[in-house]
Amino acid sequence: MTKTLLTASLAAALLGTGCAQDDAKLRTYDNNDLELAVGNAAKMNCTCRFVMLRDEAYCADWVRASPNVARFAVDEANKTVVGTAFVSWTAKARYVDDKHGCVLE
């Protein structure tokens, strides 16, 4: 009985230790740099152009990130911005209204 209890306690202690170590582990997210870069380019350019009302040159510099791989295209008529990187990666942001600014789709 004592042996069983000791074993159970030891197991619990080890499990506890295991959890504590696991808790401290750095979590990683399923994003790659290109996906993040195009999302940033689309959203921040949309905001820069249609909320902050800055010009194209200002916004291009303001949004420039590292690595600087994302390109963007602004549709002034529809108030949308598409960010792209290496053809495969795209993201789109659109201006909603004068209270809610831009949303990343």
Residues of this chain that bind other proteins (CB under 8 A):
23-33, 35-36, 39-40, 43, 47, 51-54, 58, 61-62, 66, 91, 96, 98-105
Residue 52 Cβ, how far from other proteins at the closest point, in Å?
A: 5
Residue 18 Cβ, how far from other proteins at the closest point, in Å?
A: 14
Residue 9 Cβ, how far from other proteins at the closest point, in Å?
A: 24
Helix (H) / strand (E) containing 41: helix 33-50
Dist CA 103 CA 87 (whole Å): 22
CA atoms 82, 85, 90, 96: torsion sign: negative
Q: Which is nearer to other proteins, 66 or 88 (CB)?
A: 66
Structure tokens at 10: 């030891």
Structure tokens at 19: 């959890």
